A and B are shown apart, each in its own frame.
Chain A
Amino acid sequence: MDLNSFSSNEVLFEDIFNEYSDDVYKLAFTYVKRKDIAEDLVQEVFVKVYKNLDKFQNNSSIKTWIFSIAINQCKDYLRSAYYRYIYLSEKISSVANGGTKTPEELVLEEFGKHLLTKDVLSLPVKYREVIILYYFQELKIKEITVALKVNENTIKSRLTRAKEIMKKKYHERGYQDGERTNKASQGVSYK
């Protein structure tokens, strides 16, 4: 995207929002596992983008810059007292209602029909984020290092480790490498 081709920040911002808001939404969802919270995070992220658009320098791609803001926002949310309060309230409410599922569990159940997605969402954050950025968002390793502010070797080793964990789960279900099977993505129809 050529930033200079836009006459005003207002127009530029709307284009940026329309271009990347879905990606940020998906990314935020993989951190917080709640659609409503992910939507709120999209708003928070783009408020920052809107306010700081003038400060953006072309040192990285605008996508990497926005992802970097989004990742920080998601991690801040997961560390926040609000998140802990919500998480505990839902757990308590779940127990009080005789073991009904929490919204997060319902989401995992919904996405769990696709086993790979369930596996990815079950990974620890540091492994999950590299899988999401590399495979789902198709960022290059160098772009991931910028977005996560972690060095390249660490990213590579986390990626390897994440794949090992997923491979182990994959094999535990009795499937072999390269074996095309619709069991691996139960409930998902192939084109």
Chain B
Amino acid sequence: MEKELTRLVKESPINEMNLSRERKKELIHRIKDGQQSRGFRVTKPIFAPLLSFLFVAASLSFFFYFGASEIGLNKGSIIDRGMPLYEVTIDKPNALGETYKFPTKLPFKAKEVISKPLEKFPNTDGNSAMSVYSVTFNGEDQQSLRVVFTNFGSAASNIQLEGDEIKQGEFTGYYRQSQLVKENDDIKFKTSSLQWLEQGNLHYDLSYKPGKSNVMLYENELLQIAQSFR
């Protein structure tokens, strides 16, 4: 093979490729004159690496932001904290009486408010019943903030609230958030909720859905609303 290869190499037409004498003279003249070749100039690329760098940086920023949003790492970010708060303009429903507190601030302008008592559930001890009442504030972009008021009565000692514990002053709440949710055959953004107990048996469950607003509320925002309860 080696001999054959050497023989075939010698016969290759590449070996017969030569520059003509005139062309050599012309090239020497051009080189000494410092001229570049006719067709092109190979230069170190400047814009391509710069554009590549910008593209990579932009892509990384996008993925970090999107990823952080998905897993909630940027909750309470400046953008989220910039949320304005609106006064609640309706009176507390009579059914809640003096027992419960009621929010005085909302994260959006309420377009409608739906208040309704939920069913009474017999308690496990059979002696009392849990009263459950819900108030839902709906915004213009289909965002909603629902507060469920529950009096656990004597059963309160048996319940355990789930979520990440949040403490601020005397307030102790439990924060949860869910990832993408399916709603009416459509994939929606996350939901978040904050629940807490007052007076040992009064349970508040504050939950938020961003609807089409694309504005997410995380623990800091829900905490602000929880602290507006009067």
Contacts and interface: CB of A to CB of B under 8 A. Distances in A.
Interface string B6-17: 101101111101
Which of A36, A40, A180, A188 has the most chain B CB atoms closer than 10 A to its own CB? A40
A39 B18 CA distance: 10
Interface stretch (B19-27, B53-61, B95-103, B151-159): B19-27
A14 B35 CA distance: 16
B92 to A, nearest CB: 70
B23 A39 contact: yes
Interface stretch (B40-48, B70-78, B161-169, B186-194): B40-48
B72 to A, nearest CB: 43
Contact of A50 (B31, B39, B40, B48): B31
Nearest to B42: A76
Contacts of A29: 14, 17
Which of B24, B30, B31 has the most chain A CB atoms closer than 10 A to its own CB? B31
Contacts of B31: 13, 17, 43, 46-47, 50
A122 to B, nearest CB: 13
Main secondary structure, interface of B, reads: helix
A116 B32 CA distance: 38
Contacts of A13: 28, 31-32
Main secondary structure, interface of A, reads: helix
B181 to A, nearest CB: 47
A110 to B, nearest CB: 8
A175 to B, nearest CB: 9
A26 B17 contact: yes
A76 B37 CA distance: 15
Contact of B13 (A41, A117, A163, A184): A117
A17 B28 CA distance: 8
Contact of A185 (B1, B8, B27, B45): B8
Range, interface on chain B:
20 to 34
B182 interface: no
A18 interface: yes
A124 B142 CA distance: 60
A116 B12 contact: yes
Contacts of A83: 40
A42 B42 contact: no
Given A43-B27, A50-B31, A178-B4, A136 B42 contact: no
A42 B40 contact: no
Contacts of A136: 9, 12, 14-15
A135 B5 contact: yes
Interface string A50-84: 10000000000000000000000100110011110
A47 B34 contact: yes
B48 to A, nearest CB: 7
Contacts of B27: 17, 21, 39, 42-43, 46
B230 interface: no
